[in-house]
Chain A
Amino acid sequence: MELATSPTAGAELRVFGARDIMRSELAAAVTNWRRPGLEAAVRANLLEAACAAFFFLIASAVLAWMVADALERTVPVGASSSP
């Protein structure tokens, strides 16, 4: 960024018409800077979503099993009042 904001480099940019080159280089630098974090985030979020979805699928299956038992009246529903 100093190449664009300092007077000496700024003058050279104007003389050689390198503004567009600087812009594209800067955009590429930002992309390269952020890419590893972005790629890691993609992997981490996919894994996190898959694990959470798997966990709640199992929880739902267990819940369905409990509901089925309750509907068939094989297990009592409600708190026991015995001491």
Chain B
Amino acid sequence: MHLGGAAIRVAFLRQLASCRLLWASAPAHTVAALGLTACSAAVMTVRVIATGQLIGALRHTLSESPTQAGNQVWLWLFLTAVTLVTAPVVGSATSLLSRIISTRFLRRFYDMVMDASTVPHGIGHLEDPRVVGRMDAVINATREWDFTAGLQDTLAGGG
């Protein structure tokens, strides 16, 4: 039970660090991705409502006053069409944005590794097996295919 809590805490801290790095790498793009995510959710919700209202208005028009309710039908149809067209465009924009963010993320990531190894005045830390091992692990991790793919998928899934 205690181990589970610790594992959750570590996972949370990792996610938090990843979010901080994401924000430091591309703040404007991150805000844009957040906006597109909200926009995508809104479009999907409006589409469901508009489709339901369209069916309801059509049924009402056919059973009662054709003129006034007819305008309502066209309004809901227009809204449905707009959401149908908007959704894939928003999805593509999010996907593209995730690519741009992942590139900036990687650039920042390598910059940080570079700083960690070159900013200290001496080279004593580069001879410490513990530090060298950690740096090698970080560098090798970025060479794995699933590092960039996972980064991109996380961004696309979140955005």
Q: Which residues of A pack against B, CB within 8 Å?
A: 1-2, 4-7, 10-11, 13-14, 19, 22-23, 26-27, 30-31, 34, 37-38, 41-42, 45-46, 48-49, 52-53, 56-57, 59-60, 63-64, 67, 70-71, 73, 77
Q: Is the CB of A64 within 8 A of B88?
A: no
> What residues on A are CB-neighbors of B77 within 8 Å?
60, 63-64, 67
Q: Which B-chain residue is minimally distant from A4 (CB atoms)?
A: B117
Given contacts A22-B118, A59-B84, A60-B85, contact A67 B73 (CB under 8 A): yes
> What residues on A are CB-neighbors of B61 within 8 Å?
71
Q: Which residues of B pack against A, CB within 8 Å?
A: 54, 58-59, 61-62, 66, 70, 73-74, 77, 80-81, 84-85, 87-89, 91-93, 95-96, 99-100, 102-103, 106-107, 110-111, 113-114, 117-118, 121, 123, 126-127, 132, 135-136, 139
Q: Is the CB of A38 within 8 A of B123?
A: no
With a 10 A CB-CB cut-off, give which of B80, B93, B100, B114 has the most chain A CB atoms. Answer: B114
Whole-angstrom distance from the CB of A68 to the nearest CB of chain B?
9
Q: Is the CB of A10 within 8 A of B139?
A: no
C-alpha spacing A11/B81, complex, angstroms: 64
